[in-house]
Chains A and B, each alone.
Chain A
Amino acid sequence: MNLPKLCSRLLPTVAPKLRHRRIQTTGHQLEGVAPELSFSEPNLVSVFRTSEEDPALHSETHLGQYYEIPPGHVQQLFPHGLPRRFQLQIKTFNEACVMVRPPSLELISCLKRADYSKPAQRYVLYGHCGTGKTMSLCHVLHYCYNQGWLILHVPNAHLWVKNCTDHVESSYNPSRYDQPKQAMEWLKNFKITNDHFLSKLKTTRRYVWTKREATEEGQPLGELVDQGLNRLKNSSDVVGALLRELKLQAAGGTFKLAVAVDGVNALWGKTVLRKMNREMCEPEELTLIYNLRKMMKNDWCGGAILTALSRTDALFKPLSAYRPSELLGEEGFDKMEPFVPLQTTSYNEKEFESCYLYYLDRNWLQHSHSLSEEGKKELVFLSNRNPSVLEQLCSFI
């Protein structure tokens, strides 16, 4: 491939001009500048960047290239969904650029061809740590958002099985435990993402919260969500009611529902929360987990279930586990199948090249040695082309 070599030769001469322009412009003006630049230096930018912003139009020609998610979409769609380091990167670079990679393209093509009158289809993204499961999921969610789907995004199911000290017995069902803070946090973010849907959809039955408070049938779902946000005690039950409503109404065909769960192996793993009698909680004894498990069943239609496994947060799992049956366990596997497994891998040569050029373009690689061929080989060797390791390495230089 001669293009990268051409780029690296052009880079020292072109880079000063680019840097000057990019520092002056803000994020929004970049879009105006980018076409002009790509016209004058086609070899440089079109190798690692594409101006195609709609994931529905991404195809094999865009593989390995970065596309930008518009800032408005980022704020609305991903109030809590992006990995922490990527959020820092967005702040630093002033833009949210995601690489187009094969697993997400495959998933999007499956979603395009699927029949939504049939039961919801399940997809599971798996792979080694740091290979891009969460990022691929976010890419696919951007596609769903652009298509006008209702996004039900649980960014990390593991947050609901650990690091929670204030779980209380549920008032609805005494054998279960509520997690009011986590539920409220999630409801808040759900509202940000799907505000426009909440006024259109109505409840199908009456929900009684206390002697004096109730949500009537036919009220907009927004009221249900507000009930959860205002009353801490009822927030977990509100989440359960909301999930039930969405499941029933997705079959109607007015909207498509995307249930996206990252770290889905938490639903069938172990928890570290203690019950009142000092025993460990089972996952199904937590209201949030119980209701989310109901969503994972494919007894509803009009949407898709997109999930990603996560080893980093998994409790009591060996370090080398990354395959579906290893992380989901027997019970989880039985409940989730049949699912389409999609594997994410480390960068191949083209993708690595792309990432390297992107960091150079953003002036992220400050060390002079990183510009040389030897420096690049060092990066390849140290990171083994693993995306997250490469990102952490580059933040030092």
Chain B
Amino acid sequence: MAASIYLPMLSSLHKINSHVNGIRGLISFSRNFSISQVAQNGGLRTKKGFRKWTPWKFEAVVPRTVKMAEDQDWTAVYPTAASFKPSAVPLPIRMGYPLKGGVSPDKQGNLELIKIPNFLHLTPAAIKKHCEALKPFLTEWPSALDSDEKCTEHFPIQVQTKDFVSSGASLRNPNARIVTMKVPLSSLNLDDHARKKIIKLAKERYCEETDTLTLVTDSCPLKQQNYDHAMYLLTVLYHESWKMEAWEEDKAREDMEEYEWQDSPSQRNVVELLERTKGTEERKKDLLSQPEVQEYKDAIVIMKNHGETEENLLRYKEAVKKLYNI
């Protein structure tokens, strides 16, 4: 039996290994253990008789972290996704609920670190290697498209799809059929009526802040079919919004998207007020072209379209005071 430095740490590891790995692991762990002795007589029977059984004695094994150089190739240590190995990761990490002493347990034998997913196999160096490996299969990015604005200008339609890779009984994933198509309405050729109509048709698929129309199609079983369906929907929306139906003539004040001051009760009130104030000599057009009326109109339109805020109400107050000549 070789001389062994008995470390209490190693003994605990030894116990774990003996439960987890089995004898084969044991053999691979200890380097100085001779297989021939085991094969002969279990190590206990000698020529003279039986020796007293003593516990296995192993040399202390130096963890790999000690032998690592600082400029080593990390992609060789973790070439693929693997669980956390404390002897292979040269970082003094602690994880878990603090022990009685007051600190989290260290990395040796820390189940918490083993449970969580790690991305030690996806360091920047590893990603670079992946990119280099993929490069022969790719073409150059067009040099003319060097900014985001140019991309949206020339290619306004953005199509997003997801592909799923997993290991299991089946390769298919039903979520892979979903296609999301985004188009900014400013890139479409729409006049005032067409724009209002397409927004009304699209309802919540249109976002006012970013001015994008988002169509999500998932009614067909295949991605290709869903993409074609989305393109069809866009075409139909565009052409329908340009058409003017007979019943659209009956659009009433309640259906309007924005508040219009022309022919509103507010305008009528102001005209009545001014007529009573100044007498009926002046015509309606002259009354409405006065600066106070314009200011009042602006204040009311802002209040109705953007809601009442302190600022809007103050502006309205000033406008009304001017109208009343106070």
A115 within 8 A of B: yes
Question: What's the minimum C-beta distance from B25 to chain A, rounded to whole angstroms?
Answer: 68
Per the bound structure, the CA–CA distance linking A299 and B272 in Å amounts to 9
**Stretch from B154-162, B197-205, B227-235, B263-271 contacting the other chain:** B263-271
> Per a CB cutoff under 8 Å, which of A110, A298, A325 touches B326?
A110
Q: Please state if B276 and A118 are interface contacts (CB–CB under 8 Å).
A: yes
Per the bound structure, the CA–CA distance linking A299 and B269 in Å amounts to 11
Question: What's the minimum C-beta distance from B305 to chain A, rounded to whole angstroms?
Answer: 12
Please, which residue of chain B has its CB at the minimum distance from the CB of A109?
Answer: B326
Per the bound structure, the CA–CA distance linking A114 and B273 in Å amounts to 15
> Per a CB cutoff under 8 Å, which of A118, A334, A340 touches B317?
A340
A98 within 8 A of B: no
Docked complex: B299-326 residues within 8 A CB-CB of A = 300, 303, 308, 310, 313, 316-317, 320-321, 323-326
Per the bound structure, the CA–CA distance linking A342 and B320 in Å amounts to 12
Given known A114-B324, A323-B308, A323-B313, contact A337–B266 (CB-CB < 8 A)? yes
Please, which residue of chain A has its CB at the minimum distance from the CB of B323?
Answer: A338
Per the bound structure, the CA–CA distance linking A236 and B151 in Å amounts to 73
B28 within 8 A of A: no
B277 within 8 A of A: yes
Q: Please state if B296 and A299 are interface contacts (CB–CB under 8 Å).
A: no
Question: What's the minimum C-beta distance from B282 to chain A, rounded to whole angstroms?
Answer: 15
Question: What's the minimum C-beta distance from A382 to chain B, rounded to whole angstroms?
Answer: 25
> Per a CB cutoff under 8 Å, which of B265, B303, B316, B323 touches A334?
B265
Q: Please state if A343 and B313 are interface contacts (CB–CB under 8 Å).
A: yes
For residue B277, which residues in chain A have a CB less than 8 angstroms away from its CB? Answer: 118-119
Q: How many A-B residue pairs have CB under 8 A?
A: 54
For residue A325, which residues in chain B have a CB less than 8 angstroms away from its CB? Answer: 303, 308
For residue B326, which residues in chain A have a CB less than 8 angstroms away from its CB? Answer: 110, 113-114, 121, 340
Please, which residue of chain A has its CB at the minimum distance from the CB of B310?
Answer: A343
Docked complex: A324-345 residues within 8 A CB-CB of B = 324-326, 334, 337-343
Q: Please state if B313 and A339 are interface contacts (CB–CB under 8 Å).
A: no
For residue A334, which residues in chain B have a CB less than 8 angstroms away from its CB? Answer: 265-266, 269
Per-position 1/0 for A92-131, Cβ under 8 A of B = 0000000000000000001001110011010000000000
> Per a CB cutoff under 8 Å, which of A115, A118, A339, A343 touches B320?
A339
Q: Please state if A340 and B303 are interface contacts (CB–CB under 8 Å).
A: no
For residue A342, which residues in chain B have a CB less than 8 angstroms away from its CB? Answer: 317
Per the bound structure, the CA–CA distance linking A326 and B313 in Å amounts to 13
Please, which residue of chain A has its CB at the minimum distance from the CB of B299?
Answer: A338
Task: Summarize B's interface: helix, strand, loop or mixed.
Answer: helix
Size of chain B's interface in residues, with CB distance under 8 A? 22
Question: What's the minimum C-beta distance from A56 to chain B, rounded to whole angstroms?
Answer: 16
Per the bound structure, the CA–CA distance linking A323 and B313 in Å amounts to 9
Q: Please state if B269 and A338 are interface contacts (CB–CB under 8 Å).
A: yes
Per-position 1/0 for B46-61, Cβ under 8 A of A = 0000000000000000
Question: What's the minimum C-beta distance from B259 to chain A, rounded to whole angstroms?
Answer: 11
Per-position 1/0 for A302-329, Cβ under 8 A of B = 0000000000000000000001111000
Given known A110-B321, A298-B273, contact A341–B316 (CB-CB < 8 A)? yes
Q: Please state if A337 and B269 are interface contacts (CB–CB under 8 Å).
A: yes
For residue A299, which residues in chain B have a CB less than 8 angstroms away from its CB? Answer: 272, 276
Per the bound structure, the CA–CA distance linking A156 and B296 in Å amounts to 30
Q: Please state if A119 and B317 are interface contacts (CB–CB under 8 Å).
A: no
Per the bound structure, the CA–CA distance linking A48 and B313 in Å amounts to 31
Q: Please state if B269 and A340 are interface contacts (CB–CB under 8 Å).
A: no
Q: Please state if B308 and A338 are interface contacts (CB–CB under 8 Å).
A: no
Q: Please state if B321 and A340 are interface contacts (CB–CB under 8 Å).
A: yes
Per the bound structure, the CA–CA distance linking A299 and B325 in Å amounts to 17
Please, which residue of chain A has its CB at the minimum distance from the CB of B254?
Answer: A330
Question: What's the minimum C-beta distance from A331 to chain B, rounded to whole angstroms?
Answer: 9
Please, which residue of chain B has its CB at the minimum distance from the CB of A112?
Answer: B326
Q: Please state if B320 and A338 are interface contacts (CB–CB under 8 Å).
A: yes
Q: Please state if B317 and A341 are interface contacts (CB–CB under 8 Å).
A: yes
Q: Which of B265, B310, B316, B324 has most chain A Cβ within 10 Å?
A: B324
Question: What's the minimum C-beta distance from A112 to chain B, rounded to whole angstroms?
Answer: 9
Docked complex: B233-277 residues within 8 A CB-CB of A = 265-266, 269-270, 272-273, 276-277
Per the bound structure, the CA–CA distance linking A121 and B277 in Å amounts to 11
For residue A339, which residues in chain B have a CB less than 8 angstroms away from its CB? Answer: 320
Per the bound structure, the CA–CA distance linking A110 and B300 in Å amounts to 21
For residue B317, which residues in chain A have a CB less than 8 angstroms away from its CB? Answer: 340-342
Q: Please state if A324 and B308 are interface contacts (CB–CB under 8 Å).
A: yes
Question: What's the minimum C-beta distance from A296 to chain B, rounded to whole angstroms?
Answer: 12
Q: Which of B272, B276, B326 has most chain A Cβ within 10 Å?
A: B326
Q: Please state if A338 and B296 are interface contacts (CB–CB under 8 Å).
A: yes
Please, which residue of chain B has its CB at the minimum distance from the CB of A119?
Answer: B276
Given known A113-B326, A114-B326, A323-B308, contact A338–B273 (CB-CB < 8 A)? yes
B residues with CB within 8 A of A: 265-266, 269-270, 272-273, 276-277, 296, 300, 303, 308, 310, 313, 316-317, 320-321, 323-326
A residues with CB within 8 A of B: 110, 113-115, 118-119, 121, 298-299, 301, 323-326, 334, 337-343
30 contacts between A and B (CB under 8 A): A114-B326, A115-B325, A118-B324, A119-B273, A119-B276, A119-B277, A121-B324, A121-B326, A298-B276, A299-B272, A299-B276, A301-B276, A323-B308, A324-B308, A325-B303, A325-B308, A326-B308, A334-B266, A334-B269, A337-B269, A338-B266, A338-B270, A338-B273, A338-B323, A340-B317, A340-B321, A340-B326, A341-B313, A341-B317, A343-B313
Not counting A118-B276, A119-B276, A340-B320, a sample of 8 additional A-B residue pairs whose C-beta atoms are within 8 angstroms of each other reads A110-B321, A115-B325, A119-B273, A301-B276, A337-B300, A338-B296, A340-B324, A343-B313
Closest 4 A-B residue pairs measured CB to CB?
A334-B265, A323-B308, A338-B320, A119-B276
